[in-house]
Amino acid sequence: MAARHVLTLAAALLVPLGALKAGWIAGLFAVLALAAAVLSWRRAVAALGGFPGRVFLVVVLWALATAPFAVDPAGAFALAGILIVTFLGVVLLLELPAETGPGFARALIAGYAVGAVLIALDVFTGNWLFHTLRGNYDPALVRWSAHNRAVDVMMLSTFVVMALLWRQGRRLGAFAAGLAMIAILVPAQSSSAKLAFLLAAIAAAATWRFGAMACRALAALSALAVLVMPLALWLPVERIQALVPEAKISALHRFHIWRFAGERIAEHPWLGWGLDAARAIPGGAETSPVGGQMMALHPHNAGLQIWLELGLVGALCGAWLMTALWRRIGAMPDALARATAAATAAAAFAIAMLSFGLWQGWWLATLGLVAVLTRAALHARF
């Protein structure tokens, strides 16, 4: 299997798998990473001294260092092993030759279209796909909540697909891809997805117009967002609830989770509670004032999870990562490429700060594949 075939397969399957069952993306990532290991392991070994490699070493080594004093050391070491394999897979895939041909572009666009149709089809058939693939879920489950993961996977691919169509001169197709995403977002229950799309559009416009200067501003804002997360300790949740009594219970519950996480961070601010501690943090099983556990698995916020588990050292690593990423985006000479990468990065950052657990396998696999596909798409030849 040539490198272009690996990338084409990823392009064709990412969004459809997200629509069917996002957990399958982790399996796709594993298969592609193994193929990349055969094709590019020499390049990947050399790349360990570059940007992806430095990130891998810093994050994984510190995560391993926290495992012995974690709340669940055995679970922490197991997760550290998964992170090692995952980050190595990302480095291997990023080291595949980025030059792709028309087949890659067709696969990415077709996969995006198929994924959009699957999401829409599932909604209008009463979640038939959802219940078939995931088992007999409660029929009272609100329909759109079943698609939060699918919507987020599709969104992270939207800007790349639009850029490909725009570069091909298919401007109406680019607008259609964006409108398809908006049409799915409008009835969606996920407020975080809607906010992420809005922030992505703002980031794209800013970097298109102001270039590297906008990227420097976004780097500072992203790093600051990670570093100030412990201030969640003082979230005025009761005042918010009193002022906005009609607010969604899910949003109020998340505020309680964030404040609880801030309280736990204050107890171990320097080194954190150890990798994967969010799953078993003391007090996490208690019931919040609006129902639900104070923290069942994770705080639904990547910045808080880094602080909670890896402390100030981990937060500094996260801030450094965001700064370095935005610096690389700002160095792109082409305005369309810069805007595409900025929109994708902004959307991913917003979703990570509002939704999923940082170490969820499908989420890490999605982020890795989106990074690889974005890089390949911006080098595509037609």
Q: Check whether residue 328 and residue 373 sit in a common domain.
A: no
Within its chain, how far is the Cα of 221 from the centroid? 18
Of 110, 203, 109, 192, the closest CA to residue 151 belongs to 192
Q: Check whether residue 326 and residue 200 sit in a common domain.
A: yes
DSSP 8-state secondary structure symbol assigned to residue 35: H
HSE-CB for 78 with a 13 A CA cutoff: 7
Q: Check whether residue 316 and residue 244 sit in a common domain.
A: yes
Residue 205's domain comprises 192-354
Residue 92 near residue 45 (C-beta atoms within 8 A): no
Q: Check whether residue 2 and residue 138 sit in a common domain.
A: yes
In 228-360, where does DSSP find H-type helix? 237-243, 249-267, 302-330, 335-354
Backbone angles phi and psi of 39, in degrees to 5 = -85, -30
Amino acid 21: pLDDT: 86
Tell me the angle at which helices 361-377 and 102-124 cross, rounded to the nearest 10 degrees: 140
Alpha carbon distance 59, 53 (integer Å): 10
Q: Check whether residue 167 and residue 224 sit in a common domain.
A: no
Alpha carbon distance 153, 141 (integer Å): 21
Q: Check whether residue 222 and residue 308 sit in a common domain.
A: yes
Residue 156 near residue 347 (C-beta atoms within 8 A): yes
Q: What is the pLDDT along the chain (382 residues), one digit of tens a residue?
A: 577 788 999 999 999 999 988 889 999 999 999 988 888 767 666 666 666 667 667 778 888 889 888 888 988 999 998 988 888 888 888 878 766 778 899 999 999 999 999 988 876 666 666 666 666 555 544 444 557 899 999 999 999 999 999 999 999 999 999 999 999 898 877 788 999 999 999 999 999 999 999 999 999 999 999 999 999 878 887 777 776 655 567 778 888 899 999 999 999 999 999 999 998 899 988 888 877 888 878 899 999 999 999 999 999 989 998 998 999 999 998 999 999 999 999 999 999 999 889 999 999 999 999 999 999 988 755 4
Q: Check whether residue 378 and residue 333 sit in a common domain.
A: no
Q: Check whether residue 164 and residue 196 sit in a common domain.
A: no
Q: Check whether residue 208 and residue 339 sit in a common domain.
A: yes
Q: Check whether residue 174 and residue 34 sit in a common domain.
A: yes
Q: Check whether residue 77 and residue 196 sit in a common domain.
A: no
Report the DSSP beta bridge partners of residue 287. Answer: 293
Amino acid 148: pLDDT: 84
Domain tally for the chain? 2
Q: Check whether residue 279 and residue 182 sit in a common domain.
A: no
249: its two tokens: 């219970």
Residue 256 near residue 288 (C-beta atoms within 8 A): yes
Task: Work out the angle at residue 150's Cα, subtended by the Cα atoms of residues 322 and 144, and round it to the nearest 5 degrees.
Answer: 120
